[in-house]
Amino acid sequence: MITQSIIPCIWFESHVEAIAEWYVSKFPDSFIDYTTKLMDTPSGETTIVTVSLSGQFLQLLGAGPLKDRNPSISYMVTFPTSEEVDTLWGELSEGAEVLMPLDTYDFSARYGWLKDKHGVSWQIMHSGGMDIQTVTPCFLFVGDVFGHAEAAMNDWISIFKDSYVLDGHTVRYTEEDGDELDGKINYARFVLSGREFVVMDSNENHTFSFNEIQSLIAFCESQEEVDSYWERLSAVPEAEECGWLKDRYGVSWQIIPWEMEEMMTVGSQEQIEQVVQACLPMKKLDIATLRKAY
């Protein structure tokens, strides 16, 4: 079972079980934890596969077409040796789009950024001796939210317990980078509920933005916690649906009770379907109603 309070969720059109197996075969120390199938959802049959990739839990959601895949959210993968960097780069590069070639850069002895054949973006790099998480979600603030990386980081830290900026892991642009970038976040690594995340600002002429293709699932211990996260995160009323919301920066979140995750994992197919049908009319999830349906 998942052991992290906040995990990424990546939406795929189809074949999500095969995609999960593909990722698990590429990353060291990885496994498929469990698979859940949901019937009669707005997307028809929906499959959720929970995986662990080098210590990072994710849920891969197979639910039909949605929106464009872009690198607004990528995953930083750090290894202590260049050989490990090269190996994973080779595993993921087949059919990939290279965003930054694998090379030596000022900030890393070995680094490359690619968008793999499934549309997921990975920044693979030498750790430089830093004791940091192997796979870390990274948020790139561009366009309308350029310059808001620090505000988002601080907002999220204020909402979730066991959250803080990691000492020595904030790099700011300087006046040498231009007036627009000066003082903005080049790179900042922080902790939410015990797990590491990264934010970056970029004023490059990117045309993409955050969307529901990638979201963060925040698991909750109680209805009070569900209510608190919902009240403090939700900023787009029309995006509220079935436990999903969108915050003021455009990042999508799923606010899910741990109890519901357990229902969907150990329940019979009939129980799962009853919970799904109870969930569909909801915006914010109500644990008592879901429990009754189960």
Domain membership of residue 274 (yes or no) is yes
Predicted local distance difference test score (pLDDT) of residue 207: 86
Over the stretch 217-253, which tens digit does the pLDDT of each residue have?
Answer: 999 999 999 999 999 999 999 999 999 999 999 999 9
DSSP 218-240: EEESSHHHHHHHHHHH---GGG-
- What Rg, from alpha-carbon coordinates, does the chain have? 19
Provide φ and ψ at 158, rounded to 5°: -70, -20
Strand partners, 139: 73, 199
Average the pLDDT over 109-130 and give the result.
95
Could you tell me if 78 and 179 lie in one domain? yes
Could you tell me if 158 and 85 lie in one domain? yes
Q: How far is CA 13 from the centre of its chain?
A: 17
Could you tell me if 53 and 118 lie in one domain? no
Domain limits at 42? 6-67+211-293
pLDDT band at 200 (very low <50, low <70, confident <90, very high): very high
Domain membership of residue 1 (yes or no) is no
Predicted local distance difference test score (pLDDT) of residue 39: 81
DSSP 66-89: -S---TTEEEEEEESSHHHHHHHH
CA torsion through residues 217, 218, 219, 223, sign: negative
Neighbouring residues of 32: CB distance < 8 A, sequence distance ≥ 6: 20, 21, 24, 49, 50, 51
Domain membership of residue 266 (yes or no) is yes
Could you tell me if 60 and 99 lie in one domain? no
At residue 156, what is the residue type? W
Domain membership of residue 79 (yes or no) is yes
Predicted local distance difference test score (pLDDT) of residue 38: 87
Predicted local distance difference test score (pLDDT) of residue 40: 78
Separation in Å, CA 204 to CA 15, 141, 155, 176, 191: 34, 10, 24, 16, 27
CATH code for the domain in which residue 41 is found: 3.10.180.10
Average the pLDDT over 200-215 and give the result.
93
Complete edge-to-edge strand list for the sheet that includes strand 6-12: 31-41, 44-53, 56-62, 6-12, 214-220, 252-257, 244-246
Predicted local distance difference test score (pLDDT) of residue 149: 98
Mapped onto helix, strand or coil, the DSSP state of residue 222 is coil
pLDDT band at 65 (very low <50, low <70, confident <90, very high): confident
Predicted local distance difference test score (pLDDT) of residue 41: 79
How many other CB atoms are found less than 10 A from the CB of residue 105?
Answer: 13
In the block, which residue shows the tokens 């009770």?
A: 257
Instruction: Assign residue 269 a region (left: φ > 0; alpha: ψ between -120 and 50; beta: otherwise).
Output: alpha
Residue 67 has pLDDT above 90, yes or no: no
Lowest mean pLDDT among 37-41, 44-48, 132-136, 184-188: 37-41
Out of 172, 201, 230, a domain closes at: 201
Residue 57 has pLDDT above 80, yes or no: yes
- Token readout for 216 is 């963060």
Domain membership of residue 51 (yes or no) is yes
Could you tell me if 141 and 190 lie in one domain? yes
CATH code for the domain in which residue 103 is found: 3.30.720.110
Q: How far apart are CA 203 and CA 109, in angstroms?
A: 25
Predicted local distance difference test score (pLDDT) of residue 1: 78
Q: Count of domains in the chain?
A: 2
Q: How far apart are CA 259 and CA 144, in angstroms?
A: 37
Could you tell me if 159 and 221 lie in one domain? no
Residue 21 has pLDDT above 90, yes or no: yes
Average the pLDDT over 202-217 and give the result.
93
Predicted local distance difference test score (pLDDT) of residue 132: 95
Predicted local distance difference test score (pLDDT) of residue 195: 97
Domain membership of residue 133 (yes or no) is yes
Q: How far apart are CA 75 and CA 82, in angstroms?
A: 18
Over the stretch 138-180, which tens digit does the pLDDT of each residue have?
Answer: 999 999 999 999 999 999 999 999 999 999 999 999 999 999 9
Which helix (H) or strand (E) is 217 found in, with range?
strand 214-220
Q: How far apart are CA 35 and CA 283, in angstroms?
A: 24
pLDDT band at 42 (very low <50, low <70, confident <90, very high): confident
Could you tell me if 89 and 197 lie in one domain? yes
Which helix (H) or strand (E) is 23 found in, with range?
helix 16-26
Out of 154, 176, 201, a domain closes at: 201
CB 209 within 8 A of CB 247: no
